[in-house]
Structure 1
Amino acid sequence: MERRFEEHESGDKKGSKYLRGKAPLTLVMKKKIGDRSMALKIEAKVKKLPKTKKELLVGGKIKIREIKGEINSAEGNKTSGN
């Protein structure tokens, strides 16, 4: 996690193009998720949230487990044929 943040912050070729030139960056939330697969799914879901929901997440009004539950529910629907 720290490596990825440093890559984004440094503005080198490995970091996100979107974040280049937007320094200094501030890490506002860091959570231990468990396995890498679920962490990447949660990260993708959070990136798609509107700004207001992201602010609620950072402020503790929305919990990561709620987002994880949405992902698990969606995956359950895919496997059950619904």
Structure 2
Amino acid sequence: MARQWPLKPSFAGPNPASPTLRRYAPQSFRLAYIMATKTLSSAERSALMTYKVYILKCADRSLYVGCTNNLERRLSEHNNSKWGAHYTKIRRPVVFKYSESFKTLVEARRREKEIKGWRREKKLNLINSIK
């Protein structure tokens, strides 16, 4: 059975090489559409362009570190939908504990990787530092 992609592949040029094949619509298209069809305040616009690294506490007391550009949607996915990470899906409910904001995805991913490398005690100290 052939695999179904979310969007039909689009090709650049008459005879595409593999790097020109695009299977998914880039994030920037979604952002451009929102900005073109809606008048946003500067606060809303900057919120769309920020990325957050977050820490969740699972039902089994384990900690989950993730990265997103929409924290409310992602938390809902972790708790309710089939789109949540497998790790949190089997440890529901999860509770939000901490987040940091970054202007670029690269910065956010770098920080996420750093925090994921920490021991549990150091993550708990980070969570408790904001209280």
Q: What TM bracket, shorter-length normalisation?
A: 0.5 to 0.7
Runs of 4+ aligned residues of structure 1 deviating over 3 Å after TM superposition are none
Displacement after TM superposition at 1:44 (Å)? 2.1
Identify the structure with the greater helix proportion: 1
Q: Once the 2 structures are TM-superposed, how far is the Cα of residue 7 of structure 1 from its aligned partner?
A: 1.3
State the 1:60 CA deviation: 1.4
Report the counterpart of residue 36 of structure 1 in structure 2: 105
On the 8 A contact 1:8/1:15 being kept in 2, the answer is: yes
Gaps of 5+ in 1: 62-82
Q: Which amino acid aligns with 1:7?
A: E
Normalised by the length of structure 2, the TM-score is: 0.41
Gaps of 5+ in 2: 1-70
CA shift for structure 1 position 45: 1.8
Counterpart Cα distance in 2 of 1:48 and 1:9? 24
Is the strand fraction higher in 1 or 2? 2
SS at match of 2:123: helix
> Displacement, 1:50?
0.8
Which structure is larger by alpha-carbon Rg, 1 or 2?
Answer: 2
TM-score normalised by the chain length of structure 1: 0.61
In the TM superposition, residue 16 of structure 1 has moved relative to its aligned partner by 0.8
Aligned to 2:74: 4
| Amino acid paired to 1:4 | R
1:51 match = 120
Amino acid at match of 2:113: A
Cα root mean square deviation, aligned: 1.8
| Aligned equivalents of 2:75, 2:126: Cα separation in 1 | 19
CA distance in 2, matches of 1:58, 1:41: 18
Whole-Å separation in 2 of the counterparts to 1:58 and 1:48: 15
The offset of 1:11, in angstroms, is: 4.4
